[in-house]
Chains A and B, each alone.
Chain A
């Protein structure tokens, strides 16, 4: 049985938002597929735990504390990863944040906090990694958008705007960096069982929260939320040679929720 087109053997990956949820599942599964993995987020202790899990898969790991929403922290992050592993072959832009705010009440600080992390930091970290990839014959950048990038969820319009921006950023970067053999693609997760998803329901009493979660799952054609590892496997497809002719693309992994 030969599925070697999905191997990441010998590749170096950097995963942002790597301390939990989708980022953690991605780091561990990338390691299982053969990659050395650097993980970054603002939570160094949690990152160190993920790095240990990567090492348990027999791969090298590096944990770097970074706020990807701070532009002056991006180059030091890239420099550290390159110093440790020699290059960066795969970048997964997974770090993201969200909060509730109706558009009519949104303030500048709130806007900036979402945009800086979810879009601006994604762009400038991609740029910094692309400069490395260009010197090393190519690479893969995978952006994490959201079903919210296709369809508005109220009251998180700012998140939808950022995530729609991520989809367009994917196309722009793919177009401009194809000549460097850099492929750039995007996954839009739907409702995935993570803390970010749970946070939607924590503002209500527990009984109501449980009911709302059930109702939300019912509306999904596949009748359930997804697991982080189901996103991670899609990322393996995009990180590996299996997708060598795919660039500038975005697709959802959402159990069909966009279909309604």
Chain B
């Protein structure tokens, strides 16, 4: 009998970037563990498909179209979630982008802003809005998605790396300030996970693919479901004394 602490039964979770890749795999794993799940992104049709799959697992679900990089859309997202489920117990800040492959000497302000607004600023302000709800309901768990690129720099990817390093520190600041409200904030730093974001990166950086994949010690490049164990662990009561931490899930890439 596995510890019931790993169950998400009775919990309401929100997953941003929930229409595909890591967000979709996370949302489905949460539903399998017993949670009701709200998924959000900019792609409503894809979100609706995920919500349908969640309902197929016997849980409630809702698809909400939001651009998390637009601060004026955040409050509406949170209010919609609370109106539907009454509370938010788990938030996964997974929405992220890396639209630009550009040397730092040439990076333009617009590219910087588009990456920062979504990956870091939106993550912060959505966490703030959800934390206010969690505080009123006795606590919760926030999981931020950083990257190994937030721990070790990559050339031509400056804004992304900086934003992901910011996510690690945001995790620690939020954990420090909100621990007393029983709100835990942790971070997952994925390695090179096979997603559309990853595929588009190899399109612009084919030469490094062999080098990078050679550094991964386990199983080569992995599918998004290698992250779901850490996601459910951090969302559940099994991790209830853990806060402010980053778990790297990278098949050993950082060690090489």
Interface residues in chain A, defined as those with a beta carbon under 8 Å from any beta carbon in chain B: 1-7, 29, 32-34, 171, 174-175, 178-179, 183, 190, 220-223, 226-227, 230-231, 233-234, 236-237, 240-249, 251-256, 258-260
Most chain B CB within 10 A, of A171, A227, A247, is at A247
Check B6–A6 contact: CB distance below 8 A: yes
Check B2–A256 contact: CB distance below 8 A: no
Check A175–B252 contact: CB distance below 8 A: yes
Most chain A CB within 10 A, of B1, B229, B230, B237, is at B229
Check B3–A1 contact: CB distance below 8 A: no
Once the chains are docked, how many angstroms separate the CA of A8 from the CA of B219?
Answer: 21
Check A233–B179 contact: CB distance below 8 A: no
Check B2–A221 contact: CB distance below 8 A: no
Most chain B CB within 10 A, of A3, A32, A247, is at A3
Once the chains are docked, how many angstroms separate the CA of A29 from the CA of B5?
Answer: 11
Instruction: Give the shortest distance, in Å, between A223 (CB) and chain B (any CB).
Output: 6
Q: Choose one: A175, A223, A237; the contact of B229 (CB below 8 Å).
A: A237
Once the chains are docked, how many angstroms separate the CA of A253 from the CA of B176?
Answer: 14
Once the chains are docked, how many angstroms separate the CA of A259 from the CA of B7?
Answer: 28
Most chain A CB within 10 A, of B184, B240, B242, B249, is at B242
| B129 close to A (CB within 8 Å) | no
Q: List 6 A-B contacts (CB under 8 A).
A: A6-B238, A34-B2, A222-B179, A227-B241, A237-B229, A251-B245
Given contacts A221-B179, A247-B217, A247-B251, contact A2 B241 (CB under 8 A): no
The interface on chain B, measured as residues whose beta carbon lies within 8 A of the other chain's beta carbons, has a size of: 49
Beyond the given pairs A242-B228, A245-B218, 4 more chain A to chain B contacts, judged by CB atoms under 8 angstroms and listed by A's residue number, are A6-B232, A221-B179, A222-B179, A259-B175
Once the chains are docked, how many angstroms separate the CA of A171 from the CA of B256?
Answer: 10
Chain B interface main SS type: mixed
Once the chains are docked, how many angstroms separate the CA of A255 from the CA of B171?
Answer: 14
Most chain A CB within 10 A, of B5, B243, B246, is at B243
Q: Choose one: B2, B191, B256; the contact of A33 (CB below 8 Å).
A: B2
Instruction: Give the shortest distance, in Å, between A174 (CB) and chain B (any CB).
Output: 6
Instruction: Give the shortest distance, in Å, between A143 (CB) and chain B (any CB).
Output: 15
Check A29–B247 contact: CB distance below 8 A: no
Interface residues in chain B, defined as those with a beta carbon under 8 Å from any beta carbon in chain A: 1-3, 5-7, 9, 32-34, 172, 175-177, 179-180, 182, 184, 191, 217-219, 222, 226-230, 232-233, 237-252, 254-256
Q: Which residues of chain A have C-beta atoms less than 8 A from B1's C-beta?
A: 32-33
Q: Which residues of chain B have C-beta atoms less than 8 A from A1's C-beta?
A: 7, 9, 32-34
Check B252–A222 contact: CB distance below 8 A: no
Instruction: Give the shortest distance, in Å, between B170 (CB) and chain A (any CB).
Output: 12
Q: Which residues of chain B have C-beta atoms less than 8 A from A175's C-beta?
A: 217, 252, 255-256
Question: Closest residue to A185 on the B side, CB-wise?
Answer: B247
Given contacts A223-B180, A259-B175, contact A3 B2 (CB under 8 A): yes
Given contacts A175-B217, A178-B217, A251-B246, contact A242 B230 (CB under 8 A): yes
Q: Choose one: A2, A247, A259; the contact of B252 (CB below 8 Å).
A: A247
Check A5–B228 contact: CB distance below 8 A: yes
Check A255–B241 contact: CB distance below 8 A: yes
